[in-house]
Amino acid sequence: MSAALALAEASSTSPGPAGAKRLTNALLYLDDVRVTFDGYRALRGLSLTLGRGEMRAIIGPNGAGKTTMMDVITGKTRPDTGTAVFDGVHDLTTLDEATIADLGIGRKFQKPTVFESHTVADNILLALKGPRRAFPSLFGWRNRVEAERIDDILRIVGLVPHRARPAADLSHGQKQWLEIGMLLAQDPKLLLVDEPVAGMTDAETEETAKLLREIAKDHAVVVIEHDMHFVRALECRVTCLHEGAALAEGSIDAVSADPRVVEVYLGR
Ligand SMILES: Nc1ncnc2c1ncn2[C@@H]1O[C@H](COP(=O)(O)OP(=O)(O)OP(=O)(O)O)[C@@H](O)[C@H]1O
């Protein structure tokens, strides 16, 4: 189905956030997005539709445009032309990075960036959404709510036994999970995760697939990844990008059996 058709099918008159009319029921809608860097066409008509609560894996050869796509979604890169709509009403091509993050799009880059000298629990606390110290009289209540939220997040990312350790003492895989936890603390609607298992052990990779599947029960997630065993373990729809556009999309079995995907990516 073409993205334009998907938009038409997903069209709805249901009210969006703040009563605005939704353009689409999809959480993320990209259509014919084009980005050029100094004459190089990094995105050449990329279209992609992500449903609410959907997890999607993005694969594709180096230079296919995966990172550029994330940059467009987060407002880091402005497309030359094309449509990028979040939550049915927000035109991502006109918003800055801070505004887009506030809308509920969280991004995790490949390299973990945690506060090494702080404890694991404090890293989550520092990332929690919402103003602090605004209501001193509610401190006790606030602390309790925050403590419960921190516990929840540490449980999801499997770091409860490590909560009091400095982040510097964690393994590489555990630091990645902590950063995913910090992303969750921001309460995003959509998590963008770039190559989370690069450098992980097999056991950590398996654990990461499990935790992303858990997170995907309540959030939409887009994962860029080259490790096909991991992509299979995510048990989600897969999109293969090539030369700045979607080459194939479907189940892991369908996409990995697609001769075009084998030719440009898997067979190399
Ligand atoms: N700021 C930039 N200036 C010039 N060219 C760029 C810039 N950013 C990306 N490119 C080029 O655009 C193309 C797409 O890059 P992109 O990083 O999106 O690919 P990718 O699919 O994420 O690749 P990888 O798997 O290697 O991370 C590449 O050829 C890259 O060199």
pLDDT in tens, 108-145: 987 778 999 999 999 999 998 765 544 444 555 667 78
pTM of the predicted model as reported, rounded to 2 decimal places? 0.88
Ligand 1 neighbourhood includes 39 CB (under 6 angstroms): no
pLDDT value, residue 110: 79
Backbone torsions φ then ψ of 242, nearest 5 degrees: -155, 130
pLDDT value, residue 20: 61
* 90-117 burial code (b ≥16 CB/10 A, e <16): bebbebeeeebbebbbbbbeeebebbee
pLDDT value, residue 109: 84
3-state SS class at 42: strand
Interface pTM, i.e. ipTM? 0.93
Is the pLDDT assigned to residue 14 strictly greater than 60?
no
pLDDT in tens, 252-263: 999 999 999 999
Q: Kindly give the distance from the C-alpha atom of residue 63 to the centroid of ligand 1, in angstroms, as a whole number.
A: 5
Work out the average pLDDT over 18-24.
Answer: 64
Ligand 1 neighbourhood includes 268 CB (under 6 angstroms): no
Domain 1-103+236-268 homologous superfamily, CATH: P-loop containing nucleotide triphosphate hydrolases (3.40.50.300)
pLDDT value, residue 158: 96
Is 124 exposed, middle or buried, given 0-12, 13-18 or 19+ CB atoms closer than 10 A?
Answer: buried
Atom 24 (ligand 1) nearest CA: 62
Q: How confident is the model at residue 182 (pLDDT cuts 50, 70, 90)?
A: very high
Q: Where are the domains of the chain?
A: 1-103+236-268
